[in-house]
């Protein structure tokens, strides 16, 4: 009885220490131990897809972390990685499926199982599965849905002033060469939002470029305000070195400097807020002409396509495609690229044809964690039939959905998410990042072999 009380007391104390100091604890006298069995789907290095089984005497939730060679939780340049899976153990065993795109980060040599604050077991990652990608060619950041002038919980009167700059500061520390944004800089196309954006990005040595989102284009004539304050050195003379093409509409453009390994950043701006009608459209026909010609030109190179609105899945379901989710009471995001419209059909066909494309989109704001309601929420290529689709949560206010609730929860000033991307010769690795508190989200860290 007394031993049990002491154990519970010290468990509480250590949990408190963990909460405030982020210290990981491994006790040599933990009474329960866990066996970890990791069955990988393939032998490709750095690819985590497979099934992890935990066998343990104590029932409960076991969090799985990547560990280094010393059995400590993995960090990258001082930034910690979160758990990559949770395994519920009951009747002695439990397992979790690890999504095929999930990456094993470089430096990970072990898998650690924690129950609460306590290390319960570990296993080595086979040497052939450990990631060794060579030298990164460069890195870049990916954000979405800044929404200046929309959220106000901070003393500034505009939360995006804090969250956007905080994310850029983090990316700056990792030496990014460029940051791409999937639209919605503003709330109502307001000049004030574009001016704040212009002022903030001017503080950094790397360019920060964005396509438009529905909020940027949905309130009257926007083009003059946009082109005078956003992507300024892409639209106006003198243009930044590497601006390879500017479409005739004066909005869509290509950034492809030689220093970025010949890779292409393509920013495609939707020009309408127009959804859920058979005659809806987001793009003009001449934009799609330009897009097709540009993708054909760069068909043998990596192309990062930034466009705001996500699409329905490959079966036409708007709730279960990349970028969206559906909870048990029908909560979903209803402003999807309208299926079957002329521009949607043509845009989809291009994403089927050009599989060298990585398509970054935002719009729904769903946090990375929403993957529990849709396994392809964050990334998919529909079994190789399409380009790689990547959803980007909001940097200013990710949204949360819960089963049993018909209301989505706005997480402004509590969460801020996006990607740090490292580019290698034969792949790119996307580090899903929680900028609030500075940590890499292992379950949203992905390996794209393209």
450 residues of the chain, pLDDT tens digit each: 333 333 343 334 334 433 433 444 444 434 459 999 999 999 999 999 999 999 999 999 999 999 999 999 999 999 999 999 999 999 999 999 999 999 999 999 999 999 999 999 999 999 999 999 999 999 999 999 999 999 999 888 899 999 999 999 999 999 999 999 999 999 999 999 999 999 999 999 999 999 999 999 999 999 999 999 999 999 999 999 999 999 999 999 999 999 999 999 999 999 999 999 999 999 999 999 999 999 999 999 999 999 999 999 999 999 999 999 999 999 999 999 999 999 999 999 999 999 999 999 999 999 999 999 999 999 999 999 999 999 999 999 999 999 999 999 999 999 999 999 999 999 999 999 999 999 999 999 999 997
Angle between helices 342-353 and 285-297 (to 10 degrees): 0
Residue 355: partners with Cβ closer than 8 Å, 6 or more residues away:
381, 384, 386, 387, 388, 450
Q: What pLDDT, on the 0 to 100 scale, is given for residue 23?
A: 42
40 and 155 in one domain? no
How many separate domains does the chain show? 2
Query: Tokens representing 62?
Result: 């076991």
183 and 34 in one domain? no
**Domain boundary residue among 111, 129, 147?**
129
HSE on the CB side for 281, CA within 13 Å? 12
149 and 48 in one domain? no
**Domain boundary residue among 129, 157, 190?**
129
294 and 153 in one domain? yes
343 and 311 in one domain? yes
281 and 254 in one domain? yes
Q: What pLDDT, on the 0 to 100 scale, is given for residue 6?
A: 33
122 and 144 in one domain? no
Residue closest to 230 by CA, chosen among 199, 204, 273, 256: 199
Phi, then psi, of 286 in degrees rounded to 5: -70, -25
Q: Quick check: 427 and 449 in contact, CB under 8 A?
A: yes
Residue 432 within any structural domain of the chain: no
406 and 359 in one domain? yes
Residue 420 within any structural domain of the chain: no
Residue closest to 419 by CA, chosen among 167, 235, 189, 78: 167
Residue range of the domain that includes 25? 2-129
Query: Tokens representing 266?
Result: 């393509």
Q: What is d(CA 73, CA 26) in angstroms, rounded to the nearest whole number?
A: 11
Residues in the chain: 450
Q: What pLDDT, on the 0 to 100 scale, is given for residue 13?
A: 39
């Amino acid at each position: 009885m007394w031993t049990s009380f002491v154990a519970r007391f010290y468990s509480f104390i250590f949990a408190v220490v963990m909460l405030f100091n982020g210290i990981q604890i491994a006790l040599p006298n933990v009474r329960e131990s866990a066996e970890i069995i990791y069955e990988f789907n393939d032998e490709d290095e750095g690819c985590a897809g497979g099934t992890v089984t935990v066998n343990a005497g104590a029932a409960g939730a076991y969090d799985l972390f990547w560990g280094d060679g010393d059995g400590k939780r993995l960090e990258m340049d001082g930034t910690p990685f979160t758990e990559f899976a949770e395994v519920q153990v009951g009747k002695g065993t439990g397992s979790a499926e690890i999504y095929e795109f999930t990456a094993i980060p470089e430096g990970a040599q072990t898998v650690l199982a924690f129950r609460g604050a306590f290390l319960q077991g570990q296993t080595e990652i086979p040497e052939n599965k450990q990631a060794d990608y060579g030298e990164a060619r460069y890195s870049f950041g990916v954000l979405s849905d800044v929404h200046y002038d929309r959220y106000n919980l901070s003393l500034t009167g505009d939360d995006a002033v804090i969250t956007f700059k905080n994310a850029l500061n983090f990316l700056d520390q990792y030496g990014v060469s460029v940051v791409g944004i999937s639209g919605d800089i503003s709330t109502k196309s307001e000049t004030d939002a574009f001016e704040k954006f212009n002022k903030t990005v001017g503080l950094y040595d790397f360019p920060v470029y964005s396509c438009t989102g529905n909020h940027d284009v949905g309130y009257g004539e926007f083009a003059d305000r946009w082109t005078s304050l956003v992507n300024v050195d892409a639209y106006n003379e003198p243009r930044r070195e590497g601006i390879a093409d500017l479409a005739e509409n004066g909005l869509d453009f290509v950034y492809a400097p030689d220093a970025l390994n010949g890779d292409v950043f393509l920013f495609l701006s939707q020009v309408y807020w127009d959804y859920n009608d058979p005659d809806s459209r987001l793009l003009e026909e001449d934009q799609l002409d330009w897009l097709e010609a540009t993708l054909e030109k760069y068909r043998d190179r990596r192309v990062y396509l930034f466009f705001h609105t996500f699409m329905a899945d490959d079966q036409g379901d708007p709730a279960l495609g990349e970028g969206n989710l559906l909870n048990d009471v029908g909560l979903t995001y209803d402003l999807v690229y309208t299926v079957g419209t002329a521009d949607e059909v043509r845009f989809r066909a291009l994403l089927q044809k050009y599989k060298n494309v990585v398509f970054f989109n935002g719009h729904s704001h769903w946090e990375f964690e929403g993957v529990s309601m849709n396994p392809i929420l964050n990334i998919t290529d529909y079994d190789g039939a399409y380009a790689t689709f990547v959803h980007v949560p909001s940097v200013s206010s990710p949204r949360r959905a819960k089963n049993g609730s018909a209301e989505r929860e706005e997480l402004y000033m509590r969460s801020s998410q996006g990607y740090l991307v490292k580019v290698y010769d034969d792949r790119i690795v996307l580090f899903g990042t929680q900028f609030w508190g500075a940590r890499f989200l292992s379950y949203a860290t992905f390996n794209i072999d393209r």
